[in-house]
Structure 1
Amino acid sequence: MSEPHHIDKTLVRAAFSRAAPTYDRAAVLQKEVASRLVERLDFVKLSPQRIYDLGCGTGRVSAALRERYPAAEVVALDFALPMLQAAQRRSPGLAAVCGDLEALPLAGHSAELILSNLTLQWCLDLEGSLRGLLRVARPGGLLMFTTFGPDTLRELRAAWAQVDGRSHVNAFTDLHDVGDALMRAGWAEPVVDQQTFTLTYDEVSGLMRDLKEMGAHNVTAGRAHGLTGRARLRAMADAYERFRSDGRLPATYEVVYGHAWATDGASAARPDEPATYPLDRLRRAIRTG
C-alpha cells in the first residue's frame, strides 16, 4: 500500500500537461522565485557552453538564460510535453527534451550549469535525482535550484486537517534534509537557505483555483478519490477563516534555494557533516566555489 504522501507521478504529468495554457496566469510566485534564482548567477564567474533548465515549465528560466549567456546552448527539459511546447513558443529555437528529471535522457558530463526551478519537490527519490544531476554535470560545473519546504501551504494543510484525515496537500522536504541529500549524492560545497513568501486571497477558492491552473494541486496517494463534496469544501473554507488577517487569507510558501559544485571524484559525505550555511555567506561561498 502506498504512503499517504507518496506522489503519483502519472497524475503530476497529467496535471502539468493540462495546466500549460493557464500556468503563466496563475504562477505569480513561480515567476518571482525564477527571477531570484537567475539573479543569483550575478555572483558567479562562469562561461558555460551548455546549460540545462530542468523542469522548465513554460520556459521563463530558459529564456532568461539564453539572454544572459548568448554563446551557450540552453537545453530545456520537462516531462509534460505541452509545457515544453509553451517554452518553445516563448523562446523560438530553444532546444527541448521531453524527459523526467529522475531518469535524465542526457549525456554524462555534458553541462557546466544546471538550473532547476521548483521541480525537485516532484521527485520520488531526492537523493537519487541529485546523483543523476551530478552525472550530467561537467567537473567544475554548478547546480542551482529551488524547491518547496515543509511550511508550504501550511494553512491549507491545517484547514483540511480539521475536516478529515486524508492527504490534501503535497509533502515537502526540510531544508536540512535537502542539504544532507546534496552531500550524500556527492555534490561539493553545498549551500542551502530559505525564504518565506505569503500570497493573500479574498477567499480560499482563489487559492484552490490558482493551484489547479498551475497543475500543483494534490497528487498524493492518500488523496480523496472522486469529487470533493461541497459540504467538505465548505468545512475546509470555514476552518481556513481562522487565518484571516486584515481582511485577507494568507497562503504561505517556504522556498528552499540551493547550489553546489561538481568536482572530479566528489565523494558521498557522512550524514552528520554540516550541510547548511547562513544566508549572509551565500555570496562569498559562490565566489570561492
Structure 2
Amino acid sequence: MRTGATPPFDKRAVRRAFSRAAAGYEAAAVLQDRVGAQLIERLDLVKLAPHWILDVGSGTGLGARRLNARYPRARVLALDLAGGMLREARRRKGWRQRQHYCQADAECLPLQSASMDLIYANMTVQWCNDLDQVLREFARVLCPGGLLMFSTLGPDTLRELRRAFAAVDQGAHVSPFLDMHDIGDALVRQGFEMPVMDVEHYQLTYPNLEALLRDLRAVGATNALQARARGLLTPRRLECLRAAYAGFLVEERLPATYEVVYGHAWGAGPRQERLADGSVAVPLGRLGRR
C-alpha cells in the first residue's frame, strides 16, 4: 500500500488467492466480519439516504447485504478484484436486495465521476499498491458531500508472524501496512474533508502455527508480494519458524495481533454542520436530515 516505482503486490496473485478462498470465506473471516459490522454501526453517527452505494472489496457480499438491509431503497454496487468472490456473492444474495456486481481494481474504477453517495470499503485498502491513487479514485466517483467509510490494517498487524519470519530469513513474507497518520494525510491530499481516524487492536489466538497459516489462507490473506519467494517453506525452515513463533506463546496459545484502522471522510462539497451530539447535518437534497 505504498507509492513507488515497484508495486508491492502482484495483483494476479491477490486475485487468485481470494477466488480460491471464496467458498469458505465467510466461515473463516471472523475478524473481517466483526470489523465490517462495526463499520456499518458507525453510520449511526450520520443520517444518510443514499441512492447508490459502492462496496469496494465486497468479497462474498456480506457487507453489501448488510448495507441493503440498512438502506433498502439504495442500489449497492459490489465491486471486487476476484471473480470467484463475486460469483459467491451472487449465490448468497437475497431476492429482495438491489445489488449489482463489478469485477475491477479499486485503483482504476470503471465508474462515472460523482456517481456514488456512499463508499464502503471494509479491510480492502491494504491490498492496493498506491494509497493516493485509490483515494483519488474514491474522491472522483463520490458525489459532492458524499461519505467515504473504510477500515484497513495498520503496521502492528501480524507483528508476531513478521518477527518470527525475520528470525528465519530476510525475505518478504508479511504485507506492509501504513500508519493511521499517513492514511489521514493521504485523505487530505486527495481533497477529502473532515477526515476522522481511530485505531483498535484485536488479538486472535491459535493452538499452533499451522492453524494460524491455515486461517490466513482461508481468508485469502496469502503472501502476494512481488518480492515474495516462490515455492513452499522447506521442512527445516518451517521448523525454524515454528520455534521462533513459540517465543510469543501465552497460556499455550499463539497470538496474532491485528491493528485495525477505522476512518471516514466527506467528499469535497458544501461543508456539513456538526451538531451538539456529534452527528452531522447534511444538505437535504443529498443525504436527508438529522
TM-score of the superposed pair, with normalisation by structure 1: 0.90
Cα-to-partner distance string for 1:231-255 (whole Å, 9 max, x where unaligned): 1011101100111111111000000
| Contact 1:3–1:221, Cα closer than 8 Å, also in 2 | no
User: Structure 1: where are the runs of 5+ without partners?
Assistant: 267-280
- Establish whether residue 239 from structure 1 lines up as the match of residue 244 from structure 2: yes
Residue matched to 1:216:
221
- Establish whether residue 251 from structure 1 lines up as the match of residue 256 from structure 2: yes
Cα-to-partner distance string for 1:206-256 (whole Å, 9 max, x where unaligned): 110011111101111222111210110111011001111111110000000
- Establish whether residue 17 from structure 1 lines up as the match of residue 10 from structure 2: no
Report deviation, 1:85: 1.2
Residue matched to 1:47:
49
User: Structure 2: where are the runs of 5+ without partners?
Assistant: 283-290
| Contact 1:51–1:111, Cα closer than 8 Å, also in 2 | yes
Going from structure 1 to structure 2, the CA distance change for 1:204 and 1:3 (only over 3 Å counts) comes to farther
Identity of aligned residues (%): 50
| Contact 2:216–2:222, Cα closer than 8 Å, also in 1 | yes
Aligned length: 273
Report the AA paired with residue 138 of structure 1: C
Distance in 2 (alpha carbons) for counterparts of 1:3 and 1:158: 26
Report deviation, 1:5: 8.2
Q: Provide runs of 4+ in structure 1 moved above 4 Å.
A: 2-5, 283-286
- Establish whether residue 287 from structure 1 lines up as the match of residue 280 from structure 2: yes
Report deviation, 1:25: 2.0
| Contact 1:5–1:171, Cα closer than 8 Å, also in 2 | no
Q: Which moved more, 1:85-94 or 1:204-213?
A: 85-94
Report deviation, 1:118: 0.5
Q: Secondary structure at the match of 2:23?
A: coil
Residue matched to 2:105:
100
- Establish whether residue 135 from structure 1 lines up as the match of residue 140 from structure 2: yes
| Contact 1:5–1:170, Cα closer than 8 Å, also in 2 | no
Report the AA paired with residue 188 of structure 2: M
Going from structure 1 to structure 2, the CA distance change for 1:5 and 1:218 (only over 3 Å counts) comes to farther
| Contact 2:52–2:74, Cα closer than 8 Å, also in 1 | yes
Q: How does 1:141-180 map to 2 (within 5 A)?
A: 141-180=146-185
| Contact 2:45–2:278, Cα closer than 8 Å, also in 1 | no
Distance in 2 (alpha carbons) for counterparts of 1:173 and 1:186: 19
Distance in 2 (alpha carbons) for counterparts of 1:247 and 1:165: 28
